[in-house]
Amino acid sequence: MLETNPKGRSTTLFKALLGTLLVGGTVLTANTAQAVGWEPTPPIGGATGFKCLLNDPLCFTTPITLGDKEVMLISRTTLVAANDDVVEFTLDPTNVNTPYNLSLDFNPNRNNILNDTGNLRYKIAITDPTRFFAQVRLANQGDITNGEYTITKTFWNSDYTTQVISDVLVNPTTPDGISLASLNLQTLYVQDEWNVQPGANGSINSLQNSFGQTDHVPGPLPLVGIGAAFGLSRRIRSRIKGARLA
Protein backbone atom coordinates (compact mmCIF):
# COMPACT_ATOMS: atom_id res chain seq x y z
CA MET A 1 0.00 0.00 0.00
CA LEU A 2 1.25 3.45 -0.84
CA GLU A 3 1.87 5.79 2.06
CA THR A 4 -0.35 8.87 1.84
CA ASN A 5 0.50 12.26 3.26
CA PRO A 6 -0.89 14.76 0.75
CA LYS A 7 0.43 17.89 2.39
CA GLY A 8 3.92 16.61 3.10
CA ARG A 9 4.37 14.77 -0.21
CA SER A 10 3.18 17.73 -2.28
CA THR A 11 5.59 20.04 -0.43
CA THR A 12 8.48 17.64 -1.06
CA LEU A 13 7.59 17.35 -4.75
CA PHE A 14 7.37 21.14 -5.10
CA LYS A 15 10.80 21.60 -3.51
CA ALA A 16 12.31 18.97 -5.82
CA LEU A 17 10.88 20.62 -8.91
CA LEU A 18 11.93 24.07 -7.70
CA GLY A 19 15.46 22.87 -6.99
CA THR A 20 16.28 21.87 -10.58
CA LEU A 21 15.72 24.06 -13.66
CA LEU A 22 16.44 23.10 -17.27
CA VAL A 23 17.25 26.03 -19.56
CA GLY A 24 18.44 25.51 -23.13
CA GLY A 25 19.55 21.95 -22.39
CA THR A 26 21.81 23.07 -19.49
CA VAL A 27 21.00 21.89 -15.99
CA LEU A 28 20.83 24.78 -13.55
CA THR A 29 20.54 23.73 -9.93
CA ALA A 30 19.34 25.71 -6.96
CA ASN A 31 18.28 24.87 -3.45
CA THR A 32 15.01 26.18 -2.02
CA ALA A 33 16.46 29.44 -0.67
CA GLN A 34 18.36 29.96 -3.92
CA ALA A 35 15.15 29.82 -5.90
CA VAL A 36 14.01 32.91 -4.00
CA GLY A 37 17.24 34.94 -4.17
CA TRP A 38 18.41 33.85 -7.64
CA GLU A 39 16.37 33.62 -10.81
CA PRO A 40 17.21 32.41 -14.32
CA THR A 41 18.49 34.88 -16.90
CA PRO A 42 16.88 34.86 -20.36
CA PRO A 43 18.62 32.34 -22.68
CA ILE A 44 20.10 34.96 -25.04
CA GLY A 45 22.70 34.12 -27.67
CA GLY A 46 23.18 30.60 -26.34
CA ALA A 47 24.03 31.80 -22.81
CA THR A 48 22.04 30.57 -19.81
CA GLY A 49 22.45 31.33 -16.12
CA PHE A 50 21.19 33.08 -13.01
CA LYS A 51 20.99 36.65 -11.70
CA CYS A 52 20.49 38.05 -8.21
CA LEU A 53 19.54 41.55 -7.07
CA LEU A 54 22.14 42.44 -4.43
CA ASN A 55 19.61 44.16 -2.19
CA ASP A 56 18.34 40.63 -1.49
CA PRO A 57 20.34 39.17 1.46
CA LEU A 58 19.79 35.63 0.09
CA CYS A 59 22.37 36.44 -2.60
CA PHE A 60 25.05 36.21 0.10
CA THR A 61 23.75 33.21 2.07
CA THR A 62 23.32 30.51 -0.58
CA PRO A 63 25.60 29.27 -3.38
CA ILE A 64 24.55 29.06 -7.02
CA THR A 65 25.54 26.11 -9.21
CA LEU A 66 25.83 26.23 -12.98
CA GLY A 67 27.31 23.29 -14.88
CA ASP A 68 30.34 22.17 -12.86
CA LYS A 69 30.88 25.60 -11.25
CA GLU A 70 29.63 26.77 -7.86
CA VAL A 71 29.66 30.46 -6.91
CA MET A 72 29.21 31.83 -3.41
CA LEU A 73 28.87 35.60 -3.03
CA ILE A 74 30.72 36.64 0.13
CA SER A 75 30.30 40.39 0.57
CA ARG A 76 29.66 43.69 -1.20
CA THR A 77 30.61 47.22 -0.09
CA THR A 78 29.51 50.43 -1.78
CA LEU A 79 28.99 54.11 -0.97
CA VAL A 80 25.68 54.05 -2.86
CA ALA A 81 23.14 53.24 -0.17
CA ALA A 82 20.13 52.49 -2.42
CA ASN A 83 20.67 50.87 -5.81
CA ASP A 84 19.69 47.91 -7.95
CA ASP A 85 23.08 46.34 -8.63
CA VAL A 86 22.80 42.82 -10.04
CA VAL A 87 25.21 39.89 -10.17
CA GLU A 88 24.81 37.59 -13.18
CA PHE A 89 26.49 34.18 -13.47
CA THR A 90 26.16 32.76 -16.98
CA LEU A 91 27.42 29.89 -19.12
CA ASP A 92 27.95 30.39 -22.86
CA PRO A 93 29.02 27.06 -24.46
CA THR A 94 29.90 28.85 -27.72
CA ASN A 95 32.76 30.61 -25.92
CA VAL A 96 35.22 27.72 -25.88
CA ASN A 97 38.04 29.38 -23.92
CA THR A 98 36.20 31.07 -21.04
CA PRO A 99 32.54 29.95 -21.08
CA TYR A 100 31.66 30.90 -17.48
CA ASN A 101 31.11 34.61 -16.81
CA LEU A 102 30.36 36.45 -13.58
CA SER A 103 29.37 40.08 -13.95
CA LEU A 104 28.51 42.84 -11.49
CA ASP A 105 26.11 45.15 -13.34
CA PHE A 106 25.79 48.64 -11.84
CA ASN A 107 22.44 50.42 -11.75
CA PRO A 108 22.90 53.34 -11.79
CA ASN A 109 26.28 53.21 -13.55
CA ARG A 110 29.24 54.37 -11.45
CA ASN A 111 30.27 57.80 -12.71
CA ASN A 112 31.77 61.14 -11.74
CA ILE A 113 28.56 62.24 -9.99
CA LEU A 114 28.53 59.28 -7.58
CA ASN A 115 32.20 59.37 -6.55
CA ASP A 116 31.81 55.74 -5.49
CA THR A 117 34.23 53.18 -4.12
CA GLY A 118 33.50 49.59 -3.18
CA ASN A 119 34.15 45.94 -3.87
CA LEU A 120 32.49 42.59 -4.51
CA ARG A 121 33.93 39.39 -3.07
CA TYR A 122 32.99 35.88 -4.10
CA LYS A 123 34.27 32.31 -4.32
CA ILE A 124 34.10 30.22 -7.50
CA ALA A 125 34.87 26.50 -7.37
CA ILE A 126 34.94 23.62 -9.86
CA THR A 127 32.87 20.72 -8.57
CA ASP A 128 34.27 18.20 -11.07
CA PRO A 129 37.44 16.72 -9.47
CA THR A 130 39.01 16.07 -12.90
CA ARG A 131 39.02 19.74 -13.97
CA PHE A 132 41.18 22.75 -13.13
CA PHE A 133 41.04 26.45 -13.93
CA ALA A 134 43.00 27.11 -17.11
CA GLN A 135 42.53 30.85 -17.63
CA VAL A 136 40.59 33.89 -16.50
CA ARG A 137 39.58 36.94 -18.51
CA LEU A 138 39.37 40.25 -16.62
CA ALA A 139 37.22 43.02 -18.04
CA ASN A 140 35.04 46.02 -17.37
CA GLN A 141 32.51 47.82 -19.53
CA GLY A 142 32.22 51.61 -19.54
CA ASP A 143 33.14 54.83 -21.29
CA ILE A 144 35.44 56.67 -18.89
CA THR A 145 38.04 58.55 -20.95
CA ASN A 146 40.53 59.70 -18.30
CA GLY A 147 42.43 58.25 -15.36
CA GLU A 148 40.21 59.41 -12.51
CA TYR A 149 39.23 55.88 -11.57
CA THR A 150 40.74 52.45 -10.93
CA ILE A 151 39.45 48.90 -11.03
CA THR A 152 41.55 46.38 -9.14
CA LYS A 153 40.94 42.66 -9.60
CA THR A 154 42.57 40.31 -7.12
CA PHE A 155 42.39 36.52 -6.90
CA TRP A 156 43.45 34.21 -4.07
CA ASN A 157 43.72 30.42 -4.03
CA SER A 158 42.59 29.87 -0.43
CA ASP A 159 40.22 32.03 1.59
CA TYR A 160 41.96 35.34 0.74
CA THR A 161 45.33 34.23 2.10
CA THR A 162 47.59 33.40 -0.90
CA GLN A 163 47.38 35.87 -3.77
CA VAL A 164 47.36 34.46 -7.31
CA ILE A 165 46.48 37.51 -9.46
CA SER A 166 46.40 41.26 -8.90
CA ASP A 167 45.63 43.46 -11.90
CA VAL A 168 44.56 47.10 -12.25
CA LEU A 169 42.32 47.92 -15.23
CA VAL A 170 41.86 51.44 -16.58
CA ASN A 171 39.25 51.40 -19.34
CA PRO A 172 40.90 48.61 -21.37
CA THR A 173 40.00 48.28 -25.04
CA THR A 174 40.28 44.49 -24.73
CA PRO A 175 40.14 42.31 -21.59
CA ASP A 176 43.26 41.14 -19.83
CA GLY A 177 43.66 37.37 -20.21
CA ILE A 178 45.69 35.52 -17.60
CA SER A 179 46.69 31.84 -17.70
CA LEU A 180 46.16 29.74 -14.57
CA ALA A 181 47.03 26.46 -16.25
CA SER A 182 50.20 25.78 -14.29
CA LEU A 183 48.57 26.27 -10.84
CA ASN A 184 46.15 23.29 -10.83
CA LEU A 185 43.51 25.27 -8.94
CA GLN A 186 39.90 24.21 -8.42
CA THR A 187 38.87 27.11 -6.17
CA LEU A 188 39.39 30.86 -6.56
CA TYR A 189 38.52 33.67 -4.13
CA VAL A 190 37.89 36.88 -6.04
CA GLN A 191 37.69 40.59 -5.21
CA ASP A 192 36.61 43.22 -7.76
CA GLU A 193 37.28 46.70 -6.39
CA TRP A 194 36.30 50.01 -8.00
CA ASN A 195 37.23 53.60 -7.17
CA VAL A 196 35.56 56.36 -9.21
CA GLN A 197 36.68 59.90 -8.46
CA PRO A 198 34.67 63.14 -9.01
CA GLY A 199 36.84 64.08 -12.00
CA ALA A 200 36.09 60.90 -13.95
CA ASN A 201 34.70 61.66 -17.39
CA GLY A 202 32.16 58.91 -18.11
CA SER A 203 30.85 55.87 -16.27
CA ILE A 204 31.55 52.23 -15.40
CA ASN A 205 28.67 49.98 -16.41
CA SER A 206 29.86 46.57 -15.22
CA LEU A 207 32.77 44.51 -13.91
CA GLN A 208 33.30 41.08 -15.46
CA ASN A 209 35.41 37.99 -14.99
CA SER A 210 35.22 34.95 -17.27
CA PHE A 211 36.66 31.54 -16.47
CA GLY A 212 37.93 28.59 -18.50
CA GLN A 213 38.98 25.13 -17.37
CA THR A 214 40.82 22.06 -18.54
CA ASP A 215 39.90 18.43 -17.88
CA HIS A 216 43.40 17.22 -17.02
CA VAL A 217 46.45 18.36 -15.09
CA PRO A 218 47.26 21.27 -17.41
CA GLY A 219 50.32 22.74 -18.99
CA PRO A 220 50.56 26.31 -20.33
CA LEU A 221 47.68 27.18 -22.65
CA PRO A 222 47.43 30.09 -25.12
CA LEU A 223 44.86 32.80 -24.56
CA VAL A 224 43.17 33.09 -27.93
CA GLY A 225 40.01 34.74 -29.14
CA ILE A 226 39.68 36.95 -26.07
CA GLY A 227 38.62 40.11 -27.88
CA ALA A 228 35.97 38.32 -29.95
CA ALA A 229 34.61 36.48 -26.93
CA PHE A 230 34.34 39.70 -24.94
CA GLY A 231 32.45 41.38 -27.76
CA LEU A 232 29.81 38.64 -27.69
CA SER A 233 29.64 38.72 -23.88
CA ARG A 234 29.16 42.50 -23.91
CA ARG A 235 26.33 42.28 -26.44
CA ILE A 236 24.58 39.56 -24.47
CA ARG A 237 24.98 41.51 -21.23
CA SER A 238 23.63 44.73 -22.76
CA ARG A 239 20.53 42.89 -23.93
CA ILE A 240 19.99 41.27 -20.52
CA LYS A 241 20.49 44.60 -18.73
CA GLY A 242 18.17 46.39 -21.14
CA ALA A 243 15.47 43.79 -20.57
CA ARG A 244 15.84 44.13 -16.80
CA LEU A 245 15.54 47.91 -16.81
CA ALA A 246 12.61 47.97 -19.27
User: What pLDDT, in 10s, does the model give residues 33-55?
Assistant: 344 689 999 887 888 999 999 98
Highest mean pLDDT (candidates 21-25, 35-39, 165-169): 165-169
129: burial class by Cβ within 10 Å (0-12, 13-18, 19+)? exposed
pLDDT at residue 25, rounded to an integer:
39
CB 152 within 8 A of CB 123: no
Nearest to 169 by CA among 138, 201, 205: 138
Question: What does residue 238 show for φ and ψ, rounded to 5 degrees?
Answer: -65, -40
pLDDT at residue 216, rounded to an integer:
60
222: burial class by Cβ within 10 Å (0-12, 13-18, 19+)? exposed
What is the mean predicted confidence (pLDDT) over 70-93?
89
Higher-pLDDT residue of 205 and 114 is: 205
Quick check: 244 pLDDT over 70?
Answer: no
Model pTM? Answer: 0.74
Nearest to 138 by CA among 179, 90, 92: 179
Question: Which residues, in sequence order, are CB contacts of 44 under 8 Å at separation 6+?
Answer: 236, 239, 240
Highest mean pLDDT (candidates 6-20, 158-172, 178-192, 205-219): 178-192
What is the mean predicted confidence (pLDDT) over 168-190?
85
pLDDT at residue 234, rounded to an integer:
56
Nearest to 177 by CA among 98, 96, 90, 100: 98
Quick check: 199 pLDDT over 60?
Answer: yes
Nearest to 209 by CA among 122, 84, 116, 108: 122
Higher-pLDDT residue of 228 and 14 is: 228
| pLDDT level of residue 213 (50, 70, 90 thresholds) | very high
Quick check: 192 pLDDT over 90?
Answer: yes
96: burial class by Cβ within 10 Å (0-12, 13-18, 19+)? exposed
Compute the chain's Rg from CA coordinates. Answer: 19
Mean pLDDT score of the chain:
77
Cis peptide before 108 (omega within 30 of 0): yes
pLDDT at residue 120, rounded to an integer:
96
Quick check: 105 pLDDT over 80?
Answer: yes
pLDDT at residue 204, rounded to an integer:
86
pLDDT at residue 176, rounded to an integer:
83
pLDDT at residue 242, rounded to an integer:
47
Nearest to 107 by CA among 137, 149, 141: 141
